[in-house]
Structure 1
């Protein structure tokens, strides 16, 4: 199965539409979605000698920020939108 990977150019193009002062975070683990701070950008080469860039989280204890906001997990299609269950009519004091 072939995977389409974002290129550095793709990421730059996507980031151009964002607020330049907004912090960058990683969304990780679709089965237990968490948010992480980015700390490093490292350029290297893959097994075939092609350039590849890694975005890495930091080592600090506060690098993992907690659960990913539900609306982000829904937008990533990692979770389904959750709706409150329908309300049942309240019972009256007489029990009806």
Structure 2
């Protein structure tokens, strides 16, 4: 079976996906499988595409801590052994020099 090509989600699709979530829950972006960190959502900017239709961009405000291993696994970015190694590495870095 061939993987489905990605398409730009519509604003309506994103609203539908988020409608079952707690409105007060923190919202983060998970962006890079090779360097999985939490990213804070930033500004929302609208523009026009080549045909005059509106497009919407959600910017990144800043990068936070390493993405929790369970989230990277749920996104199928890493098998458990890889995310566990990243977590150990992050723990060693945050602990400082030995």
**Is this a same-fold pair by TM over 0.5?**
yes
Q: Unaligned stretches of 5+ in structure 1?
A: 85-96
Are 2:11 and 1:16 equivalent residues in the alignment?
no
Which protein has the bigger helix share? 2
Quote the RMSD (CA, aligned, Å). 2.2
Larger radius of gyration: 1
Q: How far apart are 1:49 and its partner, in Å?
A: 3.6
Query: Aligned residue for 1:30?
Result: 33
The alignment covers a number of residue pairs equal to 80
Superposition map of 1:60-75 within 5 A: 63-75=62-74
Q: How far apart are 1:14 and its partner, in Å?
A: 0.7
Change (3 A) 1:72 1:47: farther
Q: Unaligned stretches of 5+ in structure 2?
A: 85-98
Of the two structures, which has the highest relative contact order with CA contacts closer than 8 Å and spacing of 6 or more? Answer: 1
Q: How far apart are 1:8 and its partner, in Å?
A: 0.5
The alignment partner of 2:7 has SS state of: coil
Deviation digits for residues 10-64 of structure 1 (CA, Å, limit 9, x no counterpart): 1000110101001211111111111111121111123444321111122xxxx21
